[in-house]
Amino acid sequence: MCGIVAYLGERLASSVVVKGLKRLEYRGYDSSGVAVMDGGMTVYKKKGKVAELEQLLQNQNLTSHIAIGHTRWATHGEPNDVNAHPHVSNSGRLSLVHNGIIENYASIKQMLISKGYTFSSQTDTEVLVNFIEEVQKAGNYELDEAVRKALKDVVGAYAIVIMDKENPNVLIGARKGSPLVIGLGQNEYFFASDATPIIEYTKEMVYLDDLEVAKVSPEGLEIKNLQNEVSDPQVHTVDLELEAIEKGGFDHFMLKEIFEQPKSISDCLRGRIHPEEAWIKLGGLRDYIGKLANSKRIVFVACGTSWHAGLVGEYLFEELARINVEVEYASEFRYRNPIIREGDIVIAISQSGETADTLAALELAKSKGAIILGVCNVVGSSIARVTHAGVYTHAGPEIGVASTKAFTAQVSVLSLMAIATAHQKGTITEDTFRRLLWELQEMPKKVEMILQKADEIKDISKLFTFASNFIFLGRGLNFPVALEGALKLKEISYIHAEGYPAAEMKHGPIALIDEDMPVVFIATRDSSYEKVVSNIQEVKARKGRVIAIVSAGETEVQKMVDFTIEIPNTHEMLQPLLSVIPLQLLSYYIAVLRGRNVDQPRNLAKSVTVE
């Protein structure tokens, strides 16, 4: 949520920043703005899409080589032009963009009011920029020193970039709990919330750590912590191509990412399994597979779709490795007093690696002596840096807000981890181990087979465009898939949808069944098949309209339901990687037919980096 782009160099700064803000639209936002230094400091900001800001700038004769920009997702104050960023200090000297929440803004604001400051917006950001100005004036400090001193008294989360009218060749950035990267070019510097808006210009990145302040100027880059101690910046070369963050001929990023899953799963598995030689290698966990095998308890912490992946992981680890697993919402875990013992393993799952609640849950677990591991997609992200070890999913950038390929990549990684742990522990036979590896290797081809049915799924979707409610039902490993299917539909189509274990239908949801209620069953051939068939009969007896995801060659279910979508056969433990694909397509086509903005659904952000 929210996005920052800033530039200092020889290019037209406003052009670089606005183009970058467009690249960050996937994060979710409701207003945008830029501040430029053209003789003086000028701010342009607008409620709505970046395109409206771009139109506002069209008739301006902008020549500045320094600018800061922002896409805002409202927290303090409603979405409007006034509350949009950047915010300017009372004197007009400083301009600042900010992601995060300043928790003690109210007390700081009262102090500033007592000193004669006035405020035009409802935001905590306007308070912060005036606080920095007050510190700067009181001590006659350079801007970077004023930022360091001010942030020592700030409580909350932030990523900020600030510029000073009286020193127009300097940008200052700082972070705590919200991501901020610095791009290094030839005689130019970039700040951004992630690599996507600046990859067009440079692949050399520095990831700021918490409580660090960075200063860029024609003299170079300098990073210090809040205690004024110099940090040695670690430069990372980002393996990301511009084509990966463009639509590539698809109507939406979401559809592109659904169709990328054969490749993203293949990339996730590449170099990690060898069915012919019967080995599995997870380099990031080289020193921890033994600890996983010997652990008595694993706790997954995650949010949203990643939490559903964790539920799949629970089934995998308990069934294959016979280890007790709990799956926690990170937002709940961090605010209670969880029982964590030394030797417990806490595994964070996050696409971005920046999810605020998940990071806080990890820090809590770490403070209690747990081994903390990570499963994330973004190299150099906060979770990757804070954990003892982990595994990257290698899914590539995911621009659509509704997660698709990230889910299957996470489930792929969790499958690898569970299989490797079980093999190390000796809780699966060599034959089972080899079969699982073969089935994983075949997974990209089998996903491709499902994607070839996209037109068939689109035709089914047309019949349910005007539904107001959906129920998704599954058992065992396919119960989390039912939850994920319901989440995808509600996220992008705004249809109310619920996922349940199929056996729980009789404990409440069956009261909703009538001829207007679509029910999606995951009815693949597995150990729960006969029970699911019985549940389908109960729904049909009440005139429910049933869409069933079935195994290839299925005939029994086909006779009793309204629609079936076949998926290839695979090992029961790996079925979620296939059964989720039709649900992603079903949700996508229903949302498109309803005229929804599937890549940027209302009120949602891609990465929730604040509470």
Phi then psi for residue 107, to 5 deg, are -70, -40
| Residues 6+ positions from 577 with CB-CB distance below 8 Å | 265, 408, 411, 412, 415, 443, 447, 570
pLDDT above 70: residue 385: yes
> Which stretch of DSSP H or E encloses residue 312?
helix 304-316
Residue 28 is predicted with a pLDDT of 63
- Identify the residue with better confidence: 460 or 556: 460
Mean pLDDT of 263-274: 94
Residue 244 is predicted with a pLDDT of 67
- What band does 334 get if pLDDT is binned at 50, 70 and 90? confident
Residues 275-322: tens digit of each pLDDT: 999 999 998 898 999 999 999 999 999 999 999 999 999 999 999 999
Residues 197-229: tens digit of each pLDDT: 888 899 899 999 889 999 999 999 999 999 999
The answer to whether the CB of 55 falls within 8 A of the CB of 3 is no
What DSSP string runs through 143-186? Answer: HHHHHHHHHTT--EEEEEEEEETTEEEEEEEEEEBS--EEEEET
- In the chain, the amino acid numbered 399 is I
Mean pLDDT of 164-170: 92
- SS3 assignment, position 387: coil
| Residues 6+ positions from 219 with CB-CB distance below 8 Å | none
Residue 608 is predicted with a pLDDT of 59
Place of tokens 């996937």: 26
Residue 61 is predicted with a pLDDT of 81
Phi then psi for residue 229, to 5 deg, are -90, 135
Residue 27 is predicted with a pLDDT of 64
pLDDT above 70: residue 261: yes
Phi then psi for residue 352, to 5 deg, are -80, -25
pTM over 0.85: no
How far is 60 from 83, CA to CA, in rounded Å? 22
Residues 38-48: tens digit of each pLDDT: 888 888 887 87
pLDDT above 80: residue 423: yes
Residue 452 is predicted with a pLDDT of 97
pLDDT above 80: residue 80: no
pLDDT above 60: residue 610: no
How far is 396 from 350, CA to CA, in rounded Å? 14
pLDDT above 70: residue 514: yes
Residue 311 is predicted with a pLDDT of 97
Place of tokens 């190390």: 424
Q: Which two tokens stand for residue 520?
A: 């999606």
- What band does 74 get if pLDDT is binned at 50, 70 and 90? low
CA angle 360, 366, 367 (to 5 degrees): 90
Residue 541 is predicted with a pLDDT of 76
Active-site annotation holder among 2, 268, 303, 376: 2
How far is 582 from 564, CA to CA, in rounded Å? 10
Q: DSSP letter for 504, please.
A: G
- Identify the residue with better confidence: 476 or 22: 476
Residue 75 is predicted with a pLDDT of 64
Q: Which two tokens stand for residue 462?
A: 């047309």
Active-site annotation holder among 22, 224, 446, 606: 606
How far is 429 from 425, CA to CA, in rounded Å? 10
How far is 500 from 512, CA to CA, in rounded Å? 13
Q: Is 606 assigned a catalytic role?
A: yes
Mean pLDDT of 66-73: 85
**Which is nearest to 93 in space by CA: 54, 20, 17, 146?**
146
Q: Sheet containing 167-176: which strands, arranged edge to edge? A: 87-88, 94-102, 156-164, 167-176, 212-217, 220-225, 230-231
| Residues 6+ positions from 4 with CB-CB distance below 8 Å | 68, 69, 70, 97, 99, 159, 160, 161, 180, 191, 192, 193
- Identify the residue with better confidence: 456 or 506: 456
Q: Is 376 assigned a catalytic role?
A: no
> Which stretch of DSSP H or E encloses residue 328?
strand 324-329
CA angle 431, 433, 434 (to 5 degrees): 65
The answer to whether the CB of 201 falls within 8 A of the CB of 10 is no
How far is 331 from 329, CA to CA, in rounded Å? 5
Residue 79 is predicted with a pLDDT of 62
- What band does 101 get if pLDDT is binned at 50, 70 and 90? confident
The answer to whether the CB of 41 falls within 8 A of the CB of 14 is no
Residue 419 is predicted with a pLDDT of 97
Mean pLDDT of 519-524: 92
- SS3 assignment, position 403: coil
- SS3 assignment, position 391: strand
Which spans in 389-523 are helix H?
405-425, 430-451, 454-462, 478-493
Residue 541: HSE in the Cβ half-sphere, 13 Å Cα cutoff:
8
Residue 243 is predicted with a pLDDT of 64
Residues 123-165: tens digit of each pLDDT: 888 999 999 999 999 999 999 999 999 999 999 889 999 999 9
Residue 538 is predicted with a pLDDT of 81
Task: Give the per-residue SS3 of 196-221.
Answer: CCCCCCCCEEEECCCCEEEEEECCEE
- Identify the residue with better confidence: 90 or 194: 90
Q: Which residues pair with 287 in a beta bridge?
A: none
* Maximum mean pLDDT: which of 122-131, 342-351, 448-457, 513-522: 448-457
pLDDT above 80: residue 497: yes
pLDDT above 80: residue 73: no
How far is 281 from 104, CA to CA, in rounded Å? 47
CA 397 to chain centre: 10
Reading phi first (left if > 0) and then psi (alpha if -120 to 50, else beta), residue 97 is in beta
Other residues' Cβ atoms within 10 Å of the Cβ of residue 127? 26
Instruction: Please state, rounded to an integer, the average pLDDT across all residues of the chain.
Output: 89
pLDDT above 80: residue 240: no
The answer to whether the CB of 472 falls within 8 A of the CB of 497 is yes
- What band does 77 get if pLDDT is binned at 50, 70 and 90? low
How far is 462 from 589, CA to CA, in rounded Å? 8
Q: Which two tokens stand for residue 568?
A: 């290839």
Q: DSSP letter for 341, please.
A: -
pLDDT above 60: residue 373: yes
Residue 504 is predicted with a pLDDT of 78
Give Cα separations from 46 to 82, 84, 120, 192, 279 (angstroms).
8, 7, 15, 20, 55
Residue 566: HSE in the Cβ half-sphere, 13 Å Cα cutoff:
11
Q: What residue ranges define each of the domains in the chain, with the CATH number in brackets?
A: 3-244 (3.60.20.10), 247-451 (3.40.50.10490), 453-611 (3.40.50.10490)
Residues 476-485: tens digit of each pLDDT: 999 999 999 9
Residue 78 is predicted with a pLDDT of 62
Q: Which residues pair with 183 in a beta bridge?
A: 190, 205
How far is 187 from 202, CA to CA, in rounded Å? 12
| Residues 6+ positions from 26 with CB-CB distance below 8 Å | 196, 253, 399, 400, 401, 599, 600, 606
- What band does 605 get if pLDDT is binned at 50, 70 and 90? low
| Diameter over CA atoms, the chain | 81
pLDDT above 90: residue 525: no
- In the chain, the amino acid numbered 435 is R
- In the chain, the amino acid numbered 5 is V
Mean pLDDT of 87-97: 93
The answer to whether the CB of 196 falls within 8 A of the CB of 245 is yes
Residues above pLDDT 70, as percent of the chain: 95
**Which is nearest to 586 in space by CA: 490, 510, 442, 513?**
490
